[in-house]
């Protein structure tokens, strides 16, 4: 049974989180000073907390209750595996802690990574802070919006070389998650903006966002589906005798969330596109991939 130590001054939110973790059959203890545990959750209210916690010898997560950028940067410099923003929902907090516990029990997956890099397994949430820039090194990261009714909209898929920045907690309800097993590099904003390639990376990201928005605004579902798959073919496409193979796994539900449709409607639309000769599929299940016929691959912006 994993042992989680809460370190620092606890407010009502921290006490509730600890209670939730207890219900999940974890051992939870509280202290104002470091002691052995599988993972430590440091409740950060000031830099003085960091100075009083000798945490070099064990893994720990910081929960920045102030959301101050300087405190987030200091926590990373002190060796935090992740810094959790104050405004995270209870469910996301619990899931992030569970994911980090799982990774800690698989040391071979992350032991070789430099401190500035992080590895995520498929479906892991990726929590960013406002002063951290993330570059995708390998794998694919999904950007999603969650509506108040729980419905999700897929807004983009970002592959190696893409740069992502923090979006504040607001009514947009944007979330990042690992679409595949993913490795990313973290940089403080002040360092990232001085890199000569940063402006070009931001321009590429902006162009990608504009392209997704334009495709998602198309009036007809078959146009949206073909357009989205063509965009993905530009990012993840590989030559195929029939056109371009989109080498990323997309379920019908995920495609429906990107195209503003139901899964059943997407399934019918995909069947119609195949019948009309615009689209092919290859493989089944996790190995299923879409193939954009050659004449469609370069027409998504028309």
| pTM of the entire predicted model | 0.63
Q: How many domains does the chain have?
A: 3
pLDDT digits (tens, 9 = 90+) for 64-103: 888 787 787 778 777 777 788 777 777 777 777 777 777 6
Segment 115-138 shows an average pLDDT of: 84
Edge-to-edge, what's the strand order for the sheet holding 141-146? 125-126, 174-178, 141-146, 152-158
Strand partners for 176: 126, 143
Q: Are residues 168 and 264 in the same domain?
A: no
For residue 1, what pLDDT band results from cuts at 50, 70 and 90? low
Among the candidates 105, 129, 152, a domain finishes at 105
Boundary (domain end) residue, out of 183, 213, 243: 213
CATH number, domain containing residue 2: 3.40.50.2300
Phi/psi at 163 (nearest 5 deg)?
-115, 135
pLDDT of residue 287: 92
Residues 93 and 7 in one domain: yes
**Residue 73, both tokens:** 């940067």
Identify whether 302 is part of a domain: no
Pair 296, 230: CB distance under 8 Å: yes
**Structural domain containing residue 120:** 112-213
Same domain, 91 and 116: no
182 touches 136 (CB < 8 A): yes
Average pLDDT over residues 36-54: 82
pLDDT tens across 254-293, in order? 999 999 999 999 999 999 999 999 999 999 988 999 999 8
DSSP sequence for 184-249: EEEEEHHHHTTSTTHHHHHHHHHHHHHHHHHHHT-SSHHHHHHHHHHHHHHHHEEEETTEEEE-S-
Tell me which residue of 21, 32, 186, 209 sits closest to 118, measured CA to CA.
186
Residue-wise pLDDT tens digits, 180-195: 999 999 888 888 888 8
């Amino acid at each position: 049974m994993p042992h989680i130590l809460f370190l620092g001054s606890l407010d009502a939110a921290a006490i509730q989180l600890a209670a939730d973790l207890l219900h999940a059959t974890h051992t939870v203890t509280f202290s104002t000073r470091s002691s052995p545990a599988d993972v430590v959750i440091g409740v950060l209210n000031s830099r003085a907390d960091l100075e009083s916690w000798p945490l070099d010898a064990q893994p720990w997560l910081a929960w920045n209750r102030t959301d101050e950028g300087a405190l987030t940067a200091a926590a990373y410099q002190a060796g935090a595996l992740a810094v959790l923003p104050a405004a995270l929902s209870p469910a996301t907090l619990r899931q992030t802690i569970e994911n980090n516990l799982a990774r800690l029990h698989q040391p071979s997956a992350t032991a070789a990574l430099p401190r500035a890099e992080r590895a995520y397994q498929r479906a892991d949430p990726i929590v960013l802070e406002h002063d951290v820039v993330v570059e995708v090194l390998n794998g694919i990261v999904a950007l999603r919006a969650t509506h108040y009714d729980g419905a999700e909209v897929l807004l983009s898929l970002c592959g190696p070389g893409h740069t992502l920045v923090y979006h504040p907690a607001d009514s947009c309800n944007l979330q990042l998650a690992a679409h595949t097993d993913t490795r990313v590099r973290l940089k403080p904003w002040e360092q990232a903006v001085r890199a000569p390639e940063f402006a070009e990376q931001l321009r590429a990201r902006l162009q990608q966002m504009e392209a997704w928005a334009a495709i998602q605004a198309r009036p007809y579902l078959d146009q949206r589906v073909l357009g989205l798959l063509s965009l993905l073919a530009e990012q993840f496409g590989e030559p195929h005798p029939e056109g371009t193979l989109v080498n990323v796994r997309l379920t019908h539900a995920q495609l429906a969330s990107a195209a503003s449709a139901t899964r059943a409607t997407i399934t019918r639309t995909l069947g119609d596109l195949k019948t009309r000769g615009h689209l092919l599929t290859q493989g089944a299940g996790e190995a299923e991939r879409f193939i954009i016929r050659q004449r469609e691959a370069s027409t998504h912006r028309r």
